[in-house]
Structure 1
């Protein structure tokens, strides 16, 4: 609590300092005038295509000094904020194009100036290298992240966020939707902030988001100390479709298929300095049979005898899945320096259904009938205040967030014609989260920038059991943090960015068996990035950071899930966090329209959390228990190569290859897995035929995945889409398919373990075969109306808890999810 009081004092000092020095480090108050904005659309004069990432400078006519600037977005749109009334020159430049200068004037009576469409032309000496692509770039390689533009990939229509993640470079996704980044755990954000739906299981939360709502996915492998330290592999940020434009604008998307149906609607109304944004989304997946074959062999050695137990299962689960989400946001500019925004978001999702399996227990044949119901709902509320000054880049923000979530698990199963008791149980998990955050950015110059901030997160997780003898579970976690980051130039082409983040975590939990327990710890997380600009637009980057992975509810919840009576699941509240050190060397270059990005990395992770299978005896029957443990230390070496190439102006090829080693060891327990090689391959071909016709193919291969006890076989996904632009390119219609030649995706997992209990030694072999129905065919439609202009607002980012990367359904599911 002392550290939390210290955080409160820190935030209070921020307010006091800001009140005394409203202009940053200046000494006196400034006279504030309402400023405006300059907007424009930059297009290629020949092709009429948008020029994205064109550089724009605003220069004062009186003294010829630059006072503002920016870059265009993917639609060629430009918006310069905080422009004082005066006469300016607007200079537009982009590699391969002639620099264009336009005079522009704003007045106190008309502070906003919409320049309309501005055309720029190619320079004659590089005109031969300019390629007109028939499709929008799906992958963008930026200095600190890689961006996958999901809205430009027609093969995503009719899917959900899980399907989108499978095609993002450097990510690997298993059949349940569990995500890894280069072999390490990740923190998933939505629009730069967490959602309470992620509190129990990332895999389930991703299934709630229709693919049509996703604009892009950012992969950040080397986050600075400004980010919460969560995510040993890095951070994934999902950007949803939004708009912020004068008047009314929006998008409508709908898809129908043999696997699931999706719908998404976004609407923005803006007048003056007030903007209101709302969105609705829904998805409905048909109930399809997933076949599960299971074999569990246990050998028990003791001083007196050796026995063998064999349990086999062959059955199916027929689960459906449906959900909906909605949000409404309000954004208001009081003047050019003060902005207030608020956003409300609600998600609801449910899945489950009946199942039946034939059991063979030591030669005796039985039938098990089951039913499973799982529900998730979450509410997020954000309030954000931002203050800027006339000094370009100076910014002060205060943010607050409230998140409440609820998930329920209900299951029944009965082994017909046996002495085994029917199981009927349920669990309700609740998650409450309160966050306060403040950040301040001060640019000493264009190249020297200081960032500081403080944050407090207060969480309460509770789990209520229907079986009172088990006792309820209550878990409290408070995190206080502060950071400082400085960036500057070491030389003309050598840049440095370094920082330090401190986090103090206070944990207390109560269980029926163990009573009240506490666990407090303090960590420092340094980060350093050095980048060198080379000839030919190439960049070399070296980075180091330290990160943490805290277990979330699905790992901690001691609820005993007996949806399969012979394979019990439960969490462990005494799990320690993972700590990892990451080192990366990256290189990127552009060669005549082609993009190449390559990196090598090393990661050392202590206290790695993995699922663990052990054997135990209950009522004379040998069963297995799946839980989680801190298994040991992992050392990972890896490399990643991404390339994009245009063999013809309208034909784009791209590929991504990632490889990394897997090795876990623990000298105290004797665990030593040896070294294995994991890989994932992504390939895509897109061709524009002209007149709005586009065709795409993609394929993904994930190698076998290792754990300290076993192995899951490789997985392959592939698909295609055909799309036609309609209604003056404001809309499109298309067809798509996923794995058209194979109905089921066959996944085999094998685990081995040895359990010692006194004189009793149990050797366990477990084999699971899942036949997951993945084949689908669908049609889709999309339409945009109004004038769209995307903007980003400062939001809270709680990226500090380890999400469920092991099992869908919060690790408490009773069958295979579709």
Structure 2
């Protein structure tokens, strides 16, 4: 706590110094002439895709003197600051495109000029190499990330964020919604920041988000020290749809199907310097039977002492509602403030019935379950720029609250009886999180940029049990500071490196041992070398150190006995994972085709995995432990090719090894090979007709105690543009030739003379057919504001409770 107070004191000095020296390192206060800004969005005239890294120069009309300039971002957006009132020529150039000049004027009464969309056309000798005519690229490669444009993939309609994740290259998603990036754990952000919906279960949080609300998914494999250190495999950032245009604009999406129904509405109203946006979404999944068969065999000295078979079903439904309201205001060309409040409410559960055969004796279990997740996130962000292009200071605050009441009931009826005794359990968790963050960017030159910042996170978790005389209280405070420097080593060789320090203070109580404390300090270096080769090819070498702190469900000691042969419990004594990551990547563009290849190595200490053990009565119990250390080698290859101008083929293959060792226990799993495959074909017939096919294969997933079967997902969509291309209507299907997805998980636990063999077979109703509709009104263009980014917690990505270990529809 002393170090947290010290951080607060340092931040106070930082803020005071910045107020006294608004020009950054330049010294005393400057006399600033009243200026404005010029903004625009640069698009390809044929594909309507954003042109990123286009070079823009601003020259005066009267003497052709250059006064400002810059490059567009990944969305084609340009913003030139500190522009004095005058008449200018905006000159736009990009390799392979014709240079375009646009006349622009600003006046003392109208300092800001939003030009809107500017289209530039390819030169004659490059038009034949345009990747797709009339369709947006689904996959884009950036220097530090791969971007999956979900809104350009028609097969997503009618699904949720879990369905979207299954189609993102390099990701693998299992039957419960657990997400891995190249075999490693990930941190999931929404619009660049954490959400209270992720505090309990990432899998459940992803099911709350209708696919129609997702614009894109960013897969960041080489985060710099500016990011929180969480995520041994990297970071996934889900970008939701929003707009920022003069006047009123928005989108409406609706889908209905045999598995799930979604609705989403987004609206933005902007006038002058004020922008207000709101979003509302909902989803409902029909109750369908999920069959579960679990077999537990317990042996002592190789003699069977307990043989239990469970065969039954759960009939769960899911429903969710989410909404947000945001306000953004520019005081002038240098100062901006924004605030956003977001809420989520999600519930799932329902009845179930199972037959139990314990050593041949039968009984019936009538079960019911209700799990609710309610979360609210509220953030306020202030950003200040100066006359020096690229200099920026920001301060952000965020409050996140979450409530997760859970209720379980089981009625056990002996064979031949008509009634039995009901056992009820409940657990309510309350999660509050407060964050303060500041960042400062100073460009010494155009290519030499310094980034520094500090952050404090204060978390409290209270878990109330109905069967415990003592509740579980947990607090975690994190103080962090970072510095990152970017510069060019040569004309084509760029370097970006930095160091992040994070101090963690933990306090918690347990019924058995009272108050416990655990404090630790970690340093996280990062470095990226990137060289531009001939033909627009790029070679990248990166290193970073990452961390995984256990999240709420990993720690919560609540004993979930809703399934009497599959008990579940968290472990408050878990240590964090620490990993070192090394990656070598290559990307190139060849006549409209994209090739991206990478090899990587990751070493992780203190790997956290679920562990099958037994309680004092010998009943199987699943909890979490630090298994040992692992080394992972991997390879990823992505390619996109256009056999014809309107036909796009793309594929991704990812391969990585799995191996865990523990020298203390003289334990090793051996080395196994995991893989995931993704393929997509999209064809535009013209006149607004588009057809798509996709397929995903995830290999069997290994753990230190067993494995889970491979999974195959495939689907198709047909879409027609309507209403002057402002709307679309379509049909889609998922796994149409397979009613249920059958997944088997086998675990084997050996504890001295006791051996437990557990086999779980889940029949998950996945096949679906649906129709969808979307409509856009107004003039849409997407923007992002800098927000708080808490990405330091390892989340429980498994649904707890319910029959059969918590499989959801």
Place the TM-score, normalised by the shorter chain, in its bin. Answer: over 0.9
Whether 1:405 and 2:402 are equivalent positions in the alignment is yes
Q: 1:706 to 1:131 in 2, by over 3 A?
A: closer
The 5-angstrom pairing of residues 328-367 of structure 1 reads 328-367=325-364
1:390 Cα offset (Å): 1.0
Find the partner of 2:787 among 782, 795, 808: 795
Match of 1:603 in 2: 602
Match of 2:226 in 1: 226
Match of 1:296 in 2: 296
Mapped to 1, the partners of 2:241 and 2:169 lie a distance apart of 21
Mapped to 1, the partners of 2:259 and 2:3 lie a distance apart of 51
User: Does the 8 A contact of 1:289 with 1:317 survive in 2?
Assistant: yes
User: Does the 8 A contact of 1:58 with 1:88 survive in 2?
Assistant: no
Q: 1:810 to 1:816 in 2, by over 3 A?
A: closer
Give the TM-score of the pair, scaled to structure 1. Answer: 0.96
1:68 Cα offset (Å): 2.9
1:791 Cα offset (Å): 1.3
Mapped to 1, the partners of 2:105 and 2:791 lie a distance apart of 43
User: Does the 8 A contact of 2:474 with 2:508 survive in 1?
Assistant: yes
Q: 1:811 to 1:347 in 2, by over 3 A?
A: same
1:42 Cα offset (Å): 4.4
The 5-angstrom pairing of residues 461-500 of structure 1 reads 461-469=461-469, 471-500=470-499
Q: Counterpart of 2:17 in 1: which secondary structure?
A: helix
More displaced stretch, 276-285 vs 411-420: 411-420
1:131 Cα offset (Å): 4.7
Whether 1:671 and 2:672 are equivalent positions in the alignment is no
More displaced stretch, 783-792 vs 183-192: 783-792
Match of 2:306 in 1: 309
Mapped to 2, the partners of 1:523 and 1:72 lie a distance apart of 33
1:124 Cα offset (Å): 2.8
Match of 2:799 in 1: 808
Q: Deviations 1:212-254 (Å, cap 9, x if unpaired)? A: 1100000000100000000000000000001111111100000
Q: Counterpart of 1:372 in 2: which secondary structure?
A: strand
Q: Counterpart of 2:126 in 1: which secondary structure?
A: helix
User: Does the 8 A contact of 1:317 with 1:815 survive in 2?
Assistant: no
Mapped to 1, the partners of 2:49 and 2:311 lie a distance apart of 56
1:5 Cα offset (Å): 1.5
Match of 1:732 in 2: 728
Mapped to 1, the partners of 2:105 and 2:774 lie a distance apart of 38
The 5-angstrom pairing of residues 564-713 of structure 1 reads 564-618=563-617, 622-713=618-709
Mapped to 1, the partners of 2:484 and 2:286 lie a distance apart of 49
Match of 1:780 in 2: 772
Match of 1:282 in 2: 282
1:185 Cα offset (Å): 0.4
Mapped to 2, the partners of 1:389 and 1:77 lie a distance apart of 19
Match of 1:563 in 2: 562
Gaps of 5+ in 1: none
Match of 1:91 in 2: 91
User: Does the 8 A contact of 1:149 with 1:216 survive in 2?
Assistant: yes
Q: Counterpart of 2:24 in 1: which secondary structure?
A: coil
Q: Counterpart of 2:194 in 1: which secondary structure?
A: coil
In the comparison of the two structures, how many residue pairs are matched?
Answer: 804
More displaced stretch, 54-63 vs 275-284: 54-63
User: Does the 8 A contact of 1:68 with 1:392 survive in 2?
Assistant: no
Q: 1:78 to 1:19 in 2, by over 3 A?
A: closer
User: Does the 8 A contact of 2:286 with 2:318 survive in 1?
Assistant: yes
Gaps of 5+ in 2: none
Match of 2:56 in 1: 57
Mapped to 2, the partners of 1:208 and 1:728 lie a distance apart of 32
Q: 1:778 to 1:532 in 2, by over 3 A?
A: same
1:714 Cα offset (Å): 0.1
Q: 1:63 to 1:448 in 2, by over 3 A?
A: farther
Whether 1:552 and 2:551 are equivalent positions in the alignment is yes
Mapped to 1, the partners of 2:482 and 2:41 lie a distance apart of 38
Q: Counterpart of 2:794 in 1: which secondary structure?
A: coil
Mapped to 2, the partners of 1:720 and 1:232 lie a distance apart of 33
Match of 2:207 in 1: 207
Mapped to 2, the partners of 1:754 and 1:56 lie a distance apart of 63
Mapped to 2, the partners of 1:78 and 1:488 lie a distance apart of 22
1:66 Cα offset (Å): 5.3
Mapped to 2, the partners of 1:811 and 1:609 lie a distance apart of 23
1:142 Cα offset (Å): 0.7
The 5-angstrom pairing of residues 4-83 of structure 1 reads 4-40=4-40, 42=42, 47=46, 49-53=48-52, 55-61=54-60, 62=63, 64-65=65-66, 67-71=68-72, 78-83=78-83
Match of 1:747 in 2: 743
User: Does the 8 A contact of 1:610 with 1:707 survive in 2?
Assistant: yes
Q: Deviations 1:542-601 (Å, cap 9, x if unpaired)? A: 000001000011000000000011221100101000000000000000000000000000
Q: 1:307 to 1:776 in 2, by over 3 A?
A: closer
Mapped to 2, the partners of 1:34 and 1:718 lie a distance apart of 58
1:816 Cα offset (Å): 1.8
1:78 Cα offset (Å): 4.8
User: Does the 8 A contact of 1:662 with 1:677 survive in 2?
Assistant: yes
Q: 1:121 to 1:814 in 2, by over 3 A?
A: closer
User: Does the 8 A contact of 2:563 with 2:802 survive in 1?
Assistant: no
Find the partner of 2:381 among 377, 381, 384: 384
The 5-angstrom pairing of residues 518-537 of structure 1 reads 518-537=517-536
1:72 Cα offset (Å): 6.5
Q: 1:639 to 1:811 in 2, by over 3 A?
A: farther
1:88 Cα offset (Å): 2.7
User: Does the 8 A contact of 2:413 with 2:421 survive in 1?
Assistant: no
Mapped to 1, the partners of 2:187 and 2:803 lie a distance apart of 21
Q: Deviations 1:673-728 (Å, cap 9, x if unpaired)? A: 00000000010000000111100000000000000000000000000000111111
Mapped to 2, the partners of 1:83 and 1:811 lie a distance apart of 61
Mapped to 1, the partners of 2:27 and 2:601 lie a distance apart of 47
User: Does the 8 A contact of 1:527 with 1:543 survive in 2?
Assistant: yes
Mapped to 1, the partners of 2:73 and 2:500 lie a distance apart of 32
Q: Counterpart of 2:11 in 1: which secondary structure?
A: helix
Mapped to 2, the partners of 1:665 and 1:116 lie a distance apart of 57
Mapped to 2, the partners of 1:216 and 1:378 lie a distance apart of 23
1:468 Cα offset (Å): 2.9
1:531 Cα offset (Å): 0.6
User: Does the 8 A contact of 1:257 with 1:778 survive in 2?
Assistant: yes
Match of 1:437 in 2: 437
Mapped to 2, the partners of 1:185 and 1:40 lie a distance apart of 38
Q: Deviations 1:504-549 (Å, cap 9, x if unpaired)? A: 0000001111100000000000000011110000000000000100
Q: Counterpart of 1:163 in 2: which secondary structure?
A: helix
Mapped to 2, the partners of 1:196 and 1:740 lie a distance apart of 35
Whether 1:158 and 2:155 are equivalent positions in the alignment is no
1:99 Cα offset (Å): 1.5
Match of 1:319 in 2: 316
User: Does the 8 A contact of 1:501 with 1:526 survive in 2?
Assistant: yes
Q: Counterpart of 2:204 in 1: which secondary structure?
A: helix
Q: 1:33 to 1:264 in 2, by over 3 A?
A: farther
Q: 1:82 to 1:180 in 2, by over 3 A?
A: farther
Mapped to 1, the partners of 2:150 and 2:700 lie a distance apart of 26
User: Does the 8 A contact of 2:42 with 2:72 survive in 1?
Assistant: no
User: Does the 8 A contact of 2:526 with 2:545 survive in 1?
Assistant: yes
Mapped to 1, the partners of 2:374 and 2:803 lie a distance apart of 16
Q: 1:56 to 1:113 in 2, by over 3 A?
A: farther
More displaced stretch, 112-121 vs 178-187: 112-121
Q: Counterpart of 1:550 in 2: which secondary structure?
A: strand
User: Does the 8 A contact of 1:333 with 1:340 survive in 2?
Assistant: yes
